[in-house]
Amino acid sequence: MLRLVKVSACDQNGALQVTLRLHTGPLATADGGLVLQEHAEFIVTLPASPLSATTVEVSHWRFAGYPHVLQGRQLCIFLDPAREWDPLRGGMRAYLNRLWFWLRDAAAGQFDASRAMYHAVGGVLHRTPNTPTLVVRVPGPDRRIQTGYLIARTENRLDLSYSPRPEGGAIRVPVVTLAHALPLGGGFTLAELLAYVDNPPLDHQRMRSPLAVTQSSGILTTLAASASRNPDGSPQYLLLAVPHPAGGPPHLLGARLPAPRRGRAATHRPRAGFRAGHRRLPHPL
């Protein structure tokens, strides 16, 4: 059973939001599957252009951390919208059927978390235009917080090393291995990033909060130490190795704080995600 709950006015980009309520009670839930209530509401966003894919999300955090849930709320019902979205094939009926099949498979535990792309950091690629490519050739020492060095190979490329070049010129960078994944993503400011690092979402399958590990203080301390040792006027970088919730190699997330704003790093927007910045590493750092 489908019910139209609300239709919002178009936003400044011409997108229309529609809230729908589905009777999800009949969907069978298996061990490890997504726990659904008798009825569930979903916010469907219809872009102004039919060439842009329609998206669907929820207004709560109960799905956060589940495979194919982006940044805690958006349902990834298209693995590749550029190929799978076709507004001329079936219209809204086909889209709603796809949403229903996604819910059916999620409740039945059919999604493999180990194969969910970028699942460790909100399920999305963090990328900031005009930031350099970061190249990592070898794994780092097995430490939670490690000092690395970024060596400029070209204007648009930095290589990560764990021993500075004899002639100097390398930029110090903290390399931190986190205690857990970041299912809500990296945020838009350093303050948001540190909040996600210290406060993982609830484990809703067991209805408890996982053991919180305070890591932000150590990250800020090592950031300050690196900034004090780097050349004047150079940006401060931060690298996070984020564990995948299903095991396997971690993901690498990079952020850059411009030099003039180091003293206000807690509120500045980090330039998170080099062009290689959300790539699965061949080995743990």
Q: What is the pLDDT of residue 266?
A: 40
Same domain, 139 and 250: yes
Total structural domains within the chain: 2
Q: Does a structural domain hold residue 227? A: yes
Please indicate, yes or no, whether residues 144 and 33 belong to a single structural domain of this protein: no
Residues 140 and 258 in one domain: yes
The reply to whether 125 falls in a domain is no
28 lies in the same domain as 81: yes
Which residues span the domain enclosing 79? 2-111
Is 120 part of any domain? no
Give pLDDT, residue 52: 87
- Residue 208 placed within a domain: yes
Write out residues in the chain with pLDDT < 70, as ranges.
117-118, 165-167, 201-213, 260-285
121 domain-assigned: no
Instruction: Indicate whether 25 and 55 sit together in one domain.
Output: yes
| Domain contains 277 | no
Length of the chain, in residues: 285
This model's pTM is above 0.85: no
Instruction: Yes or no: say if 187 and 128 are a contact pair by the CB < 8 Å rule.
Output: no
Instruction: Specify whether 157 is located in the same domain as 106.
Output: no
In this prediction, residue 260 carries a pLDDT of 55
Nearest to residue 43, comparing CAs of 15, 14, 19, 75? 19
Q: Residue 129: its pLDDT value, please? A: 80
On whether both 26 and 106 belong to a single domain, the answer is yes
Question: Is the same domain home to 171 and 225?
Answer: yes
Residues 51 and 155 in one domain: no
Same-domain pairing of 93 and 139 = no
Q: What is the pLDDT of residues 103-150, one digit of tens each?
A: 999 999 998 887 776 677 888 878 778 888 889 887 777 889 999 999
- Say if 72 falls within a structural domain: yes
CATH number at residue 107: 3.10.110
Based on the fold, state whether residues 87 and 142 are members of the same structural domain: no
285 lies in some domain: no
Q: Are 50 and 150 in a shared domain?
A: no
pLDDT computed for residue 177 by the predictor: 92
pLDDT of residue 276: 37
SS3 sequence, the chain? Answer: CEEEEEECCCCCCCCEEEEEEEECCCCCCCCCCCCCCCEEEEEEEECCCCCCCCEEECCCCCCCCCCCEECCCEECCCCCHHHHCCCCCCHHHHHHHHHHHHHHHHHCCCCCHHHCCCCCECCCCCCCCCCCEEEECCCCCCCCEEEEEEEEEECCEEEEECCCCCCCCCEEEEEEECCCCECCCCCCCHHHHHHHHHCCCCECCCCECCCCCCCHHHHHHHHHHHHHHCCCCCCEEEEEEECCCCCCCCEEEEEEECHHHHHHCCCCCCCCCCCCCCCECCCCC
